[in-house]
Amino acid sequence: MKKYRLPSLFLLLVFLVGALSLQGQTRAKKAAKPAAKKTAVAAFNPKTDPPFLNAKQKWVDSVFKSLTPEERIAQLIMIPVYSNKNQAHIDSISKLITTYKVGGLIFFQGGPVRQANMTNRYQRESKVPLMISIDGEWGLAMRLDSTVRFPYQMALGGIQDEKLIYDMGAEIARHCRRMGIHVNFAPVVDVNNNANNPVIGFRSFGEDKYNVTSKSIAYMKGMQDNKVLANAKHFPGHGDTNVDSHYGLPVIHFSKLRLDSVELHPFRELMKNGLGSLMVAHMNIPVLDNTKDLASTLSKPIVMDLLKKEMGFKGLVFTDALNMQGVAKFYAPGIVDVKALLAGNDMLLNTMDVKTTIEEVKKAIKNKEITQEEVDARCRKVLAAKQWMGLDNWKPIETRNLIEDLNNPYATYLNRQLTEASLTLLRNKGNILPLKALDTLKVAALAMGTHLETDFQRSLAKYTKVDNFFLSPTSSIAELQLLKEQLKEYNVVIVGVHKLQLKASGSGTFGITAEMNLFMKDLIRSKPTLVSVFGNVYSLNRFEDIEKAHGVLATYQENELTQDVAAQIIFGGVGAKGKLPVNVSSFFRINDGLTTDGGLRFAYTQPEAVGLTSQDFAQIDTLVQQAIRARATPGAQVLVAKNGKIIYSKAFGYHTYENQVPVKNTDLYDLASVTKITTSLAALMKLSGEGRFDVDRTLGEYLPMMKGSNKENLRYRDILTHQARLKSWIPFWKEEVKKNGELKGSVFSADSSAKFPTKVAQNLYIRKDFSEEIYKQIKESPLNEKPGYVYSDLSFILAPKVVENITGQEFETYLKENIYKPLGATTLTFNPYKQYPLSRIVPTEIDTLFRKQLLHGTVHDEGAAMLGGVSGHAGLFGNANDLAKVMQMYLQDGQYAGRRYIADKTVSTFSKCQFCPNNYRALGFDRPSKPGSENGNAAKGAPAESFGHTGFTGIYSWVDPVNQIVYIFLSNRVHPTRESSVLSKLNTRTNVMQVVYDAMEKAKGRPVASPLESKL
């Protein structure tokens, strides 16, 4: 008995354990059943799950049941389409859609309207609505013309405010939806830690995995929050390769630890934040799959095992294009597709042989390489994504206003914001930037890499006078030596490096020649040099000693916007904010980036920058064009600044009604009586602030020649408010015309000489001492019998003599040295023909009485002309941009760009009404005669505190200190004759300014938003 007892106990124990185990398994199964059921109906997690997992299954089930097994395979196929190809291509795509019922299209090069029309056709022909996709990493402009080109991702990598990137993703999504596009293959989440990467490079957010991740999430969320599926690429990471997978198969020899810690990090984090789809790259990665010449796209261990199982990705998995040589050189069309499907991909991108692909997949099912159930599950996933995209309720694309919608002002302003936030200042020796003391600088703008004037040079010229030079890549030694000599007289050289190659392929120099390099090195050594590199940031490493320059600005790419913003940073219109997202060299390291303040000088932007909308400014164009059609003026310049930002600046029409020379913003107009407030009054206010001029002293005290006359005791407060009883004007020229209409030979000559040195007009010169006759006539002129307001030119004709007596300087010299040159208002000048070609000067009247010619380059006002073009009442020429600088200085009570021109509170004192209500004038300035009136001398919305002046030739210059507005309207309404009063009858000048006030009223309580939001 004893010897059997132990085994019996053992058997009993085994039985009991087994029973308990079975009981436990039964309980576990019972417990597992509700858990499994719970998993099947688990709540959608909007933070972590791809958004289409929340799709309405009823539509998915209905469509799925209507599909044959072949059509379910076809739903996984996406074919390439071009809207810039011929009708044969268009029809061939149609045939594939109707014959095989493919699931989607990827559009490449073309145009928006053409693509929209093709999309509408194909959607109507398709049994199941098509999933439309595009590669739009920097917006639709990556593939389509006539669309907004947002910055490259490398530029975005330098932005500190990631909300801007979210906003960009949102706007790109709106553009996609407007175009009927459902998937945008962006963002690129590759960590670009190889400067010689030939395929990613500028397409990456940079080399820091955390920066890449955070910016990719912002871009992704912006799109997916607006119902466009984002696509992270290129899994498992294409940032450290030296082979372009379009042309070959890169081999990645990293450890799994490296891949996991660097390349996979952004993908993993995006998945945690609801990534909808990703794209698998064509790369051979031995550590993950050591099959020779096998791309990751075709690798089951990489797609199925790593991505789907280990990382748990639930979104759509797209292949990279299957016609790229990374896979196409090893497998034929159709074969490569089925291999990609077997690897675990959901969508086959750029299938080149649809028929063969479907047949090969059917073979694979038959051979049990993949089951029909697996194909069906992927088909249902695709259908769920389509339902989320709104394809269960497809509507055709409206092509009307399509181009306008895709280029809406919100998008262009957002693009500007992104560009401003990205440009990176890497050197600022001695805080030279933003440039100060413009009157001490002689500036050369050297365009390196081109022989044509650049947008950068044009933008620099908005701030001050710059002289342009060029250095083409093929310049000879002699040309380089000549350029070196020419630049010697300049004390600042601003270099723009242009036309660089986008990639470092080939020689790796980005197109920087040895001559360019040597010249730059020598220039930096010889004088203060500011370098803006318009191209791939890695190109900075190809310039020797560039780190020794006084200023270095990286812009990441070349376009009109980057060049404009670079110029604004240099002169302080906007501040530098960006940080370098990659290591370029030992001198330029990741996260380098200096900051500067903006707002020093005008920023050039658009209404959205001050909370207004460009759409509300469209009425300005309507009003000006109406005036031109009514022959009120042949052309005009209009400028509006608010809060120190020029938000509207536009040229209209032509110089004359012959319509031969279009008006440009750089052209000069005769400012007529606006001369009074920009010359005489500017000087008197400056002198007043210095205690050298007092409005309560008399004309005789400041101008001895007036002593003994009836004007000796006229007080300047009365003179400047036009109530000193001075005559309105004196027609000096009429006394010098003979009865037969000819000019007196004792006063005028057709040729210049020592006796007749002063030019009045073309081929007309006046006796050298005739100005004394003018002053004498003013001195002897009677005063008005009755006191009260009478607008008069006479005191302003005398003003230059007053200023000269006080300062000891010539009037024009005093103004240029003390005001215009420091302001950078260099087009403000008398006698512009001496400095500018006539093609830049807008003509005025065809004078049939006095000068008997078209007045072109010389002043319109007769008295100013007889004074040689220099007077305090008329004679100044300039463009709207430079006139606005003076007016902005007035708005800021005598200060601009950190420099005080007129003592504090002087302008505000002069611009106040002195004798209201009897006389509404300020000291020298005009003010609203009837504030709030429809037909007054100011806009209806202009407050009583606003001030400015008008000019006889069709000029209007106004300042509103309450709303921080500067408004300039320049025209030549006196062409061809001063008798035309149409401009005044139309109230064009004040009506245009009223548009600004109306826009402000409309904007109250209305946030600046994309106009597409309400259309989609």
Asked if pLDDT for residue 567 goes beyond 60, the answer is yes
pLDDT band at 35; cut points 50, 70, 90: very low
Among 238-242, 327-331, 384-388, 492-496, which stretch is predicted with the lowest mean pLDDT?
A: 238-242
Q: Number of structural domains, the chain?
A: 3
Q: Is residue 808 part of a domain?
A: no
Q: Please indicate, yes or no, whether residues 394 and 494 belong to a single structural domain of this protein.
A: no
Q: What is the CATH number for 651? A: 3.30.450
- What is the model's pLDDT at position 7? 42
Taking the C-alpha atoms of residue 229 and residue 225, their distance in angstroms, rounded to an integer, is: 9
Residue 382 near residue 75, CB atoms below 8 Å: yes
Q: Please indicate, yes or no, whether residues 464 and 576 belong to a single structural domain of this protein.
A: yes
> pTM for this structure?
0.93
Percentage of the chain exceeding pLDDT 70:
96
Q: Which residue do the tokens 């005739």 mark?
A: 770
Candidate ranges 18-32, 630-644, 733-747; pick with highest mean pLDDT: 630-644
Asked if pLDDT for residue 930 goes beyond 80, the answer is yes
Q: Please indicate, yes or no, whether residues 284 and 388 belong to a single structural domain of this protein.
A: yes
Q: Please indicate, yes or no, whether residues 610 and 560 belong to a single structural domain of this protein.
A: no
Q: Is residue 715 part of a domain?
A: no
Q: Please indicate, yes or no, whether residues 458 and 442 belong to a single structural domain of this protein.
A: yes
Taking the C-alpha atoms of residue 642 and residue 966, their distance in angstroms, rounded to an integer, is: 6
Taking the C-alpha atoms of residue 989 and residue 981, their distance in angstroms, rounded to an integer, is: 13
The parent domain of residue 996 ranges over 602-662+926-1016
- CA distances (Å), origin 585, targets 194, 439, 577, 1015: 12, 36, 20, 47
Q: What is the pLDDT of residues 129-159, one digit of tens each?
A: 999 999 999 999 999 999 999 999 999 999 9
Indicate the Cα dihedral angle 134, 140, 143, 149, nearest 10°. Answer: -150
Taking the C-alpha atoms of residue 568 and residue 769, their distance in angstroms, rounded to an integer, is: 47
Q: What is the pLDDT of residues 54-78, one digit of tens each?
A: 999 999 999 999 999 999 999 999 9
Q: Please indicate, yes or no, whether residues 166 and 293 belong to a single structural domain of this protein.
A: yes
Asked if pLDDT for residue 238 goes beyond 80, the answer is yes
Residue 638 near residue 648, CB atoms below 8 Å: yes
Taking the C-alpha atoms of residue 16 and residue 13, their distance in angstroms, rounded to an integer, is: 5
Q: Is residue 916 part of a domain?
A: no
Order across the sheet with 466-471: list the strands.
424-428, 551-554, 529-533, 492-497, 443-448, 466-471
Q: Is residue 8 part of a domain?
A: no
Asked if pLDDT for residue 790 goes beyond 50, the answer is yes
Asked which of 598, 615, 632 is the last residue of a domain, the reply is 598
Q: What is the pLDDT of residues 446-455, one digit of tens each?
A: 999 999 999 9
Asked if pLDDT for residue 17 goes beyond 70, the answer is no
Which secondary structure element, helix H or strand E, spans residue 949, and what is its range? strand 947-951
Q: Is residue 312 part of a domain?
A: yes
Helical segments of 66-207, H only: 69-74, 87-100, 112-125, 153-156, 163-178
pLDDT band at 38; cut points 50, 70, 90: very low
Q: Which residues contact 164 (CB under 8 A, 6 or more apart)?
A: 414, 417, 418, 421
Asked if pLDDT for residue 395 goes beyond 90, the answer is yes
Q: Please indicate, yes or no, whether residues 287 and 169 belong to a single structural domain of this protein.
A: yes
Residue 578 near residue 159, CB atoms below 8 Å: yes
Write the secondary structure of 928-941 as one string of H (helix), E (strand) and C (coil). CCCCCCCCCCCCCC
Which secondary structure element, helix H or strand E, spans residue 1002, and what is its range? helix 988-1003
Please give the average per-residue pLDDT across 766-779, as a whole number.
97
Q: What is the CATH number for 333? A: 3.20.20.300
- What is the model's pLDDT at position 245? 77
Residue 302 DSSP label: I
Q: Please indicate, yes or no, whether residues 560 and 619 belong to a single structural domain of this protein.
A: no
| Residue 927 phi, psi dihedral angles, 5° rounding | -135, 165
Residue 543 near residue 512, CB atoms below 8 Å: yes
Asked if pLDDT for residue 4 goes beyond 90, the answer is no
Q: Which residue do the tokens 């290591």 mark?
A: 583
Q: What is the pLDDT of residues 957-982, one digit of tens each?
A: 999 999 999 999 999 999 999 999 99
Asked if pLDDT for residue 30 goes beyond 80, the answer is no
- What is the model's pLDDT at position 1007? 84
Q: Is residue 261 part of a domain?
A: yes
Q: What is the pLDDT of residues 607-639, one digit of tens each?
A: 999 999 999 999 999 999 999 999 999 999 999
Helical segments of 399-493, H only: 402-406, 409-422, 455-460, 477-486
- What is the model's pLDDT at position 212? 98
- What is the model's pLDDT at position 919? 93
List, in sequence order, every residue forming a beta bridge with 443; answer none if it has no partner.
466, 492
Pairing of strands 853-854, 846-847: antiparallel
Q: Is residue 713 part of a domain?
A: no
- What is the model's pLDDT at position 19? 45
Asked if pLDDT for residue 8 goes beyond 70, the answer is no
Token digits of residue 972: 């030549």
- The chain-wide mean pLDDT, for the chain, equals 94
Q: Is residue 670 part of a domain?
A: no
Residue 153 near residue 200, CB atoms below 8 Å: no
Q: For residue 550, give the nearest of 457, 434, 447, 704 by alpha carbon.
A: 434
- What is the model's pLDDT at position 42? 64
Helical segments of 816-922, H only: 821-823, 862-866, 880-891, 906-910
Residue 954 near residue 972, CB atoms below 8 Å: yes
Asked which of 351, 377, 404 is the last residue of a domain, the reply is 404
Pairing of strands 899-900, 895-896: antiparallel
Token digits of residue 790: 């009478």
- What is the model's pLDDT at position 716? 98
- What is the model's pLDDT at position 21? 44
- DSSP strands (E only) in 556-681: 603-604, 635-642, 645-653, 669-670
Q: What is the CATH number for 505? A: 3.40.50.1700
Taking the C-alpha atoms of residue 555 and residue 567, their distance in angstroms, rounded to an integer, is: 11
Asked which of 598, 626, 643 is the last residue of a domain, the reply is 598
Asked if pLDDT for residue 11 goes beyond 60, the answer is no
Q: Please indicate, yes or no, whether residues 281 and 264 belong to a single structural domain of this protein.
A: yes
| Residue 949 phi, psi dihedral angles, 5° rounding | -165, 160
Q: Is 947 helix (H, G, I), strand (E, B) or coil?
A: strand
Q: Please indicate, yes or no, whether residues 568 and 607 belong to a single structural domain of this protein.
A: no
Taking the C-alpha atoms of residue 280 and residue 289, their distance in angstroms, rounded to an integer, is: 14
Residue 431 DSSP label: G
Q: For residue 525, give the nearest of 493, 572, 561, 486 by alpha carbon.
A: 493
Taking the CB of residue 56, how many other CB atoms lie within 10 A of it? Answer: 11
Q: For residue 183, give the nearest of 4, 318, 332, 306 by alpha carbon.
A: 318
Residue 321 DSSP label: P
Percentage of the chain exceeding pLDDT 90:
89
Taking the CB of residue 453, how many other CB atoms lie within 10 A of it? Answer: 13
Q: Please indicate, yes or no, whether residues 379 and 441 belong to a single structural domain of this protein.
A: no
Q: Please indicate, yes or no, whether residues 230 and 365 belong to a single structural domain of this protein.
A: yes
Q: What is the pLDDT of residues 488-544, one digit of tens each?
A: 999 999 999 999 998 876 667 899 999 999 999 999 999 999 999 999 999 999 999
- What is the model's pLDDT at position 16? 41
